[in-house]
Protein backbone atom coordinates (compact mmCIF):
# COMPACT_ATOMS: atom_id res chain seq x y z
CA UNK A 1 0.00 0.00 0.00
CA UNK A 2 1.43 3.44 -0.92
CA UNK A 3 2.79 5.38 2.03
CA UNK A 4 0.22 8.18 1.90
CA UNK A 5 -2.72 5.82 1.43
CA UNK A 6 -1.67 3.94 4.57
CA UNK A 7 -1.21 7.18 6.48
CA UNK A 8 -4.72 8.28 5.55
CA UNK A 9 -6.13 5.25 7.35
CA UNK A 10 -4.43 6.33 10.56
CA UNK A 11 -4.42 10.09 10.54
CA UNK A 12 -7.47 12.24 11.04
CA UNK A 13 -5.85 15.57 11.90
CA UNK A 14 -8.01 18.15 13.65
CA UNK A 15 -7.39 21.47 11.93
CA UNK A 16 -8.28 23.36 15.10
CA UNK A 17 -5.01 22.22 16.67
CA UNK A 18 -2.90 23.45 13.75
CA UNK A 19 -1.51 26.85 12.97
CA UNK A 20 -3.53 28.80 10.44
CA UNK A 21 -1.16 28.33 7.50
CA UNK A 22 -2.50 28.22 3.96
CA UNK A 23 -0.38 25.16 3.17
CA UNK A 24 -0.91 24.26 -0.47
CA UNK A 25 0.48 20.75 -0.11
CA UNK A 26 -0.94 18.14 2.26
CA UNK A 27 1.26 15.14 1.48
CA UNK A 28 4.98 15.82 1.86
CA UNK A 29 8.10 13.66 1.79
CA UNK A 30 11.08 14.87 3.85
CA UNK A 31 14.35 13.08 3.07
CA UNK A 32 17.04 13.37 5.73
CA UNK A 33 14.26 13.82 8.28
CA UNK A 34 16.30 12.77 11.33
CA UNK A 35 19.19 15.13 10.61
CA UNK A 36 19.88 18.46 12.30
CA UNK A 37 17.82 20.48 9.81
CA UNK A 38 15.43 17.71 8.80
CA UNK A 39 13.89 17.26 12.24
CA UNK A 40 13.02 20.96 12.42
CA UNK A 41 11.49 20.80 8.94
CA UNK A 42 9.31 17.88 10.05
CA UNK A 43 8.20 19.76 13.15
CA UNK A 44 7.38 22.92 11.16
CA UNK A 45 5.36 21.03 8.57
CA UNK A 46 3.51 19.00 11.20
CA UNK A 47 2.11 22.24 12.62
CA UNK A 48 0.35 22.85 9.30
CA UNK A 49 -1.52 19.53 9.41
CA UNK A 50 0.38 17.99 6.49
CA UNK A 51 0.84 14.22 6.38
CA UNK A 52 4.59 13.59 6.31
CA UNK A 53 6.71 10.68 5.12
CA UNK A 54 9.91 11.13 7.14
CA UNK A 55 12.68 9.29 5.29
CA UNK A 56 15.97 8.57 7.06
CA UNK A 57 18.74 5.99 7.04
CA UNK A 58 18.08 4.77 10.59
CA UNK A 59 14.34 5.11 11.16
CA UNK A 60 14.47 2.85 14.23
CA UNK A 61 16.47 5.57 16.01
CA UNK A 62 14.15 8.43 14.97
CA UNK A 63 11.00 7.60 16.92
CA UNK A 64 11.07 11.08 18.47
CA UNK A 65 9.87 12.47 15.13
CA UNK A 66 6.45 10.90 15.62
CA UNK A 67 5.88 13.00 18.74
CA UNK A 68 6.01 16.15 16.61
CA UNK A 69 2.58 15.43 15.13
CA UNK A 70 -0.70 13.67 15.76
CA UNK A 71 -1.07 9.89 15.77
CA UNK A 72 -0.38 8.62 12.25
CA UNK A 73 0.54 12.04 10.88
CA UNK A 74 4.26 11.28 10.55
CA UNK A 75 5.37 7.98 9.01
CA UNK A 76 9.00 6.95 9.61
CA UNK A 77 10.59 5.20 6.65
CA UNK A 78 14.03 3.61 6.56
CA UNK A 79 15.61 4.21 3.16
CA UNK A 80 18.92 5.21 1.60
CA UNK A 81 18.48 8.04 -0.89
CA UNK A 82 20.38 6.05 -3.53
CA UNK A 83 17.77 3.27 -3.50
CA UNK A 84 15.52 4.14 -6.45
CA UNK A 85 13.39 1.00 -6.13
CA UNK A 86 12.58 1.86 -2.51
CA UNK A 87 12.13 5.60 -3.07
CA UNK A 88 9.71 5.29 -5.98
CA UNK A 89 6.72 3.96 -3.95
CA UNK A 90 7.56 6.36 -1.10
CA UNK A 91 7.18 9.33 -3.44
CA UNK A 92 4.00 7.99 -5.03
CA UNK A 93 1.21 10.39 -4.13
CA UNK A 94 3.54 13.03 -2.69
CA UNK A 95 2.61 16.60 -3.56
CA UNK A 96 5.92 18.05 -2.34
CA UNK A 97 9.40 16.70 -1.63
CA UNK A 98 12.03 18.30 0.61
CA UNK A 99 15.66 17.20 0.55
CA UNK A 100 17.38 17.98 3.84
CA UNK A 101 20.33 15.59 3.50
CA UNK A 102 23.94 16.68 3.79
CA UNK A 103 27.30 15.86 5.34
CA UNK A 104 30.11 18.13 6.53
CA UNK A 105 32.93 15.62 5.98
CA UNK A 106 33.46 12.34 4.17
CA UNK A 107 33.73 9.08 6.09
CA UNK A 108 33.25 5.51 4.89
CA UNK A 109 30.48 5.23 2.30
CA UNK A 110 29.24 8.76 3.00
CA UNK A 111 30.88 10.75 0.21
CA UNK A 112 30.09 14.22 -1.09
CA UNK A 113 29.39 12.89 -4.58
CA UNK A 114 26.83 10.41 -3.28
CA UNK A 115 25.09 12.60 -0.69
CA UNK A 116 25.25 16.03 -2.32
CA UNK A 117 25.08 15.16 -6.03
CA UNK A 118 23.82 11.69 -6.97
CA UNK A 119 21.25 11.37 -4.18
CA UNK A 120 19.53 14.75 -4.75
CA UNK A 121 19.61 14.19 -8.52
CA UNK A 122 17.84 10.84 -8.17
CA UNK A 123 15.34 12.26 -5.70
CA UNK A 124 14.48 15.17 -8.01
CA UNK A 125 14.13 12.82 -10.97
CA UNK A 126 11.77 10.51 -9.06
CA UNK A 127 9.79 13.50 -7.74
CA UNK A 128 9.29 14.70 -11.31
CA UNK A 129 8.25 11.22 -12.44
CA UNK A 130 5.72 10.98 -9.61
CA UNK A 131 4.22 14.34 -10.65
CA UNK A 132 5.10 16.09 -7.39
CA UNK A 133 4.19 19.76 -7.63
CA UNK A 134 7.08 21.16 -5.55
CA UNK A 135 10.67 20.29 -4.68
CA UNK A 136 12.73 22.05 -2.00
CA UNK A 137 16.48 21.43 -1.98
CA UNK A 138 18.48 22.59 1.05
CA UNK A 139 21.99 23.39 -0.13
CA UNK A 140 24.49 25.86 1.39
CA UNK A 141 25.99 29.30 0.93
CA UNK A 142 29.33 28.52 -0.66
CA UNK A 143 27.88 26.22 -3.32
CA UNK A 144 30.15 27.12 -6.23
CA UNK A 145 31.57 24.98 -9.06
CA UNK A 146 34.90 26.81 -8.65
CA UNK A 147 35.01 26.53 -4.85
CA UNK A 148 38.28 25.78 -3.06
CA UNK A 149 36.55 22.90 -1.28
CA UNK A 150 35.08 19.63 -2.52
CA UNK A 151 32.10 20.37 -0.25
CA UNK A 152 31.32 23.63 -2.08
CA UNK A 153 31.82 22.08 -5.51
CA UNK A 154 29.59 19.11 -4.66
CA UNK A 155 26.85 21.40 -3.36
CA UNK A 156 26.93 23.35 -6.63
CA UNK A 157 26.86 20.15 -8.70
CA UNK A 158 23.91 18.91 -6.65
CA UNK A 159 21.97 22.11 -7.27
CA UNK A 160 22.60 21.85 -11.01
CA UNK A 161 21.47 18.21 -11.17
CA UNK A 162 18.34 18.97 -9.14
CA UNK A 163 17.43 21.86 -11.45
CA UNK A 164 18.05 19.68 -14.48
CA UNK A 165 15.58 17.05 -13.25
CA UNK A 166 13.09 19.44 -11.59
CA UNK A 167 13.43 22.94 -13.15
CA UNK A 168 11.02 24.59 -10.70
CA UNK A 169 12.90 23.34 -7.63
CA UNK A 170 13.47 25.90 -4.86
CA UNK A 171 17.06 26.10 -3.63
CA UNK A 172 17.70 27.20 -0.04
CA UNK A 173 21.30 28.15 0.76
CA UNK A 174 21.83 28.70 4.51
CA UNK A 175 25.00 30.13 6.03
CA UNK A 176 26.37 28.56 9.24
CA UNK A 177 23.33 27.00 10.94
CA UNK A 178 23.05 27.21 14.71
CA UNK A 179 20.69 25.55 17.16
CA UNK A 180 20.65 23.10 20.09
CA UNK A 181 22.06 20.20 18.05
CA UNK A 182 24.53 22.15 15.90
CA UNK A 183 28.01 20.82 15.19
CA UNK A 184 29.82 24.16 15.41
CA UNK A 185 29.09 25.88 18.72
CA UNK A 186 28.57 22.63 20.62
CA UNK A 187 31.84 21.17 19.38
CA UNK A 188 34.00 24.19 20.11
CA UNK A 189 32.31 24.78 23.47
CA UNK A 190 33.18 21.20 24.40
CA UNK A 191 36.78 21.74 23.27
CA UNK A 192 37.01 24.98 25.25
CA UNK A 193 36.21 23.12 28.48
CA UNK A 194 39.65 21.49 28.41
CA UNK A 195 41.84 23.01 25.68
CA UNK A 196 43.94 26.08 26.54
CA UNK A 197 43.33 27.67 23.13
CA UNK A 198 40.98 27.76 20.15
CA UNK A 199 42.46 27.93 16.63
CA UNK A 200 41.85 31.00 14.48
CA UNK A 201 42.48 29.40 11.11
CA UNK A 202 43.63 31.98 8.60
CA UNK A 203 43.69 34.52 11.40
CA UNK A 204 39.98 34.10 12.18
CA UNK A 205 38.94 36.59 9.49
CA UNK A 206 36.44 34.36 7.65
CA UNK A 207 32.97 35.91 7.87
CA UNK A 208 29.74 34.05 8.65
CA UNK A 209 26.09 35.04 8.83
CA UNK A 210 24.73 32.49 11.34
CA UNK A 211 21.12 31.47 10.75
CA UNK A 212 18.84 29.75 13.26
CA UNK A 213 17.84 26.20 12.30
CA UNK A 214 14.20 27.02 13.09
CA UNK A 215 14.31 29.84 10.54
CA UNK A 216 15.70 27.45 7.90
CA UNK A 217 12.82 25.04 8.58
CA UNK A 218 10.32 27.89 8.42
CA UNK A 219 11.86 28.95 5.10
CA UNK A 220 11.22 25.47 3.69
CA UNK A 221 7.59 25.69 4.77
CA UNK A 222 7.19 29.25 3.44
CA UNK A 223 8.74 28.30 0.09
CA UNK A 224 5.96 25.74 -0.33
CA UNK A 225 3.29 28.33 0.37
CA UNK A 226 4.43 31.28 -1.72
CA UNK A 227 3.43 31.20 -5.40
CA UNK A 228 6.53 33.20 -6.43
CA UNK A 229 8.98 30.67 -4.94
CA UNK A 230 9.24 27.93 -7.61
CA UNK A 231 12.54 28.13 -9.46
CA UNK A 232 14.09 30.67 -7.08
CA UNK A 233 17.26 30.58 -5.00
CA UNK A 234 17.16 31.95 -1.44
CA UNK A 235 20.32 32.65 0.56
CA UNK A 236 19.53 32.39 4.26
CA UNK A 237 21.48 34.37 6.83
CA UNK A 238 20.82 35.84 10.24
CA UNK A 239 20.64 39.54 11.11
CA UNK A 240 24.37 39.87 11.88
CA UNK A 241 27.70 39.01 10.26
CA UNK A 242 30.55 37.74 12.47
CA UNK A 243 34.15 36.79 11.82
CA UNK A 244 35.36 33.43 13.10
CA UNK A 245 37.24 35.28 15.83
CA UNK A 246 34.09 37.13 16.91
CA UNK A 247 32.13 33.86 17.04
CA UNK A 248 34.75 32.30 19.31
CA UNK A 249 34.77 35.39 21.53
CA UNK A 250 31.00 35.21 21.83
CA UNK A 251 31.13 31.51 22.61
CA UNK A 252 33.76 31.95 25.35
CA UNK A 253 31.80 34.81 26.87
CA UNK A 254 28.67 32.66 26.97
CA UNK A 255 30.33 29.71 28.71
CA UNK A 256 32.37 31.94 31.01
CA UNK A 257 35.81 30.68 30.05
CA UNK A 258 38.99 32.50 29.10
CA UNK A 259 40.99 30.81 26.37
CA UNK A 260 43.76 31.92 24.07
CA UNK A 261 42.63 32.56 20.51
CA UNK A 262 45.60 31.34 18.52
CA UNK A 263 46.06 32.49 14.88
CA UNK A 264 46.91 29.50 12.68
CA UNK A 265 48.10 29.94 9.07
CA UNK A 266 46.16 28.01 6.45
CA UNK A 267 49.21 25.93 5.52
CA UNK A 268 49.78 24.72 9.07
CA UNK A 269 46.04 24.10 9.52
CA UNK A 270 46.05 21.84 6.47
CA UNK A 271 48.86 19.72 7.94
CA UNK A 272 47.09 19.54 11.30
CA UNK A 273 43.79 18.57 9.62
CA UNK A 274 45.49 15.82 7.61
CA UNK A 275 46.57 14.23 10.90
CA UNK A 276 43.07 14.46 12.41
CA UNK A 277 41.46 12.87 9.36
CA UNK A 278 43.22 9.59 10.07
CA UNK A 279 42.43 9.39 13.78
CA UNK A 280 39.89 6.64 14.69
CA UNK A 281 37.23 9.14 15.84
CA UNK A 282 33.52 9.32 14.89
CA UNK A 283 34.24 12.71 13.36
CA UNK A 284 37.50 14.61 12.92
CA UNK A 285 38.06 17.91 14.70
CA UNK A 286 38.58 19.48 11.27
CA UNK A 287 39.34 18.25 7.77
CA UNK A 288 41.54 19.66 5.04
CA UNK A 289 38.43 20.36 3.00
CA UNK A 290 36.94 22.39 5.87
CA UNK A 291 40.17 24.38 6.10
CA UNK A 292 39.85 25.20 2.41
CA UNK A 293 36.22 26.23 2.98
CA UNK A 294 37.42 28.83 5.48
CA UNK A 295 39.21 30.67 2.69
CA UNK A 296 35.82 32.01 1.58
CA UNK A 297 33.17 33.95 3.50
CA UNK A 298 29.78 32.33 4.13
CA UNK A 299 27.51 35.38 3.88
CA UNK A 300 24.45 36.05 1.73
CA UNK A 301 25.05 37.69 -1.64
CA UNK A 302 23.66 41.25 -1.69
CA UNK A 303 20.46 41.42 -3.70
CA UNK A 304 19.72 37.69 -3.47
CA UNK A 305 16.33 36.89 -1.86
CA UNK A 306 16.62 35.69 1.74
CA UNK A 307 14.50 35.08 4.81
CA UNK A 308 12.80 38.45 4.57
CA UNK A 309 11.59 37.62 1.04
CA UNK A 310 9.86 34.60 2.57
CA UNK A 311 8.20 36.74 5.25
CA UNK A 312 10.55 35.60 8.02
CA UNK A 313 12.32 37.89 10.49
CA UNK A 314 15.67 36.20 11.19
CA UNK A 315 16.43 35.32 14.81
CA UNK A 316 19.48 36.82 16.51
CA UNK A 317 22.29 34.49 17.52
CA UNK A 318 23.07 35.49 21.11
CA UNK A 319 19.74 34.83 22.90
CA UNK A 320 19.38 31.38 21.33
CA UNK A 321 23.03 30.49 21.89
CA UNK A 322 22.60 31.20 25.60
CA UNK A 323 19.70 28.74 25.74
CA UNK A 324 21.69 25.65 24.80
CA UNK A 325 25.30 26.20 25.86
CA UNK A 326 24.51 26.16 29.57
CA UNK A 327 26.02 22.71 30.09
CA UNK A 328 29.43 24.00 29.01
CA UNK A 329 29.54 26.80 31.58
CA UNK A 330 31.71 26.69 34.66
CA UNK A 331 29.66 25.20 37.54
CA UNK A 332 29.42 28.46 39.50
CA UNK A 333 28.17 30.32 36.39
CA UNK A 334 25.60 27.63 35.65
CA UNK A 335 24.23 27.91 39.19
CA UNK A 336 24.12 31.71 38.95
CA UNK A 337 22.30 31.54 35.61
CA UNK A 338 19.72 29.17 37.06
Is the full-model pTM beyond 0.95?
no
Q: Report angle CA 153, 155, 159 to the nearest 5 degrees.
A: 115
Fold of 3-14+23-181+209-239+298-315: Rossmann fold (3.40.50)
Distance CA 336, CA 88 (A): 54
Element (H, E) at 196: none
Of 77, 159, 173, nearest to 123 by C-alpha is 159
Distance CA 73, CA 55 (A): 14
Q: Which residues contact 20 (CB under 8 A, 6 or more apart)?
A: none
Phi, psi for 42 (deg, rounded to 5)? -60, -45
From the number of C-beta atoms within 10 Å of its C-beta (0-12, 13-18, 19+), residue 243 rates as middle
What are the residue ranges spanned by the domains of the chain? 3-14+23-181+209-239+298-315
Q: Which residues contact 321 (CB under 8 A, 6 or more apart)?
A: 178, 185, 250, 251, 254
Element (H, E) at 9: helix 3-10
pLDDT 10s per residue in the chain (338 long)?
466 555 544 454 444 345 544 566 789 999 999 999 999 999 999 999 999 999 998 888 999 999 999 988 999 999 998 999 999 999 999 999 999 999 999 888 889 999 999 999 999 999 999 999 999 999 999 999 999 999 999 999 999 999 999 999 999 999 999 999 999 999 999 999 999 999 999 999 999 999 999 999 999 999 999 999 999 999 999 999 999 999 999 999 999 999 999 999 999 999 989 987 777 767 788 899 999 999 999 999 999 999 999 999 999 999 999 999 999 997 765 444 54
Beta strands 242-243 and 260-264, pairing class: unpaired
Q: Residue 314: how many CB atoms within 10 A of its CB?
A: 20
Residues written for the chain? 338
Amino acid sequence: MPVFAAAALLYRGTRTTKRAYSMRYRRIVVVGASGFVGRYVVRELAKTGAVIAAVCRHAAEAGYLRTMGDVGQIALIDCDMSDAARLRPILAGAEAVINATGILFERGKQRFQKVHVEGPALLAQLAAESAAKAFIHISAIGADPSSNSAYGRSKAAGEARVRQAFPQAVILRPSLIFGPEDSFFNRFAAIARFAPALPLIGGGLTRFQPVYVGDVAEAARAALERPESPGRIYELGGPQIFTLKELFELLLKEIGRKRLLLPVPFGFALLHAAFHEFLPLPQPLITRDQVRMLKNDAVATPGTPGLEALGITPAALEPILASYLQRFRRPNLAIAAA
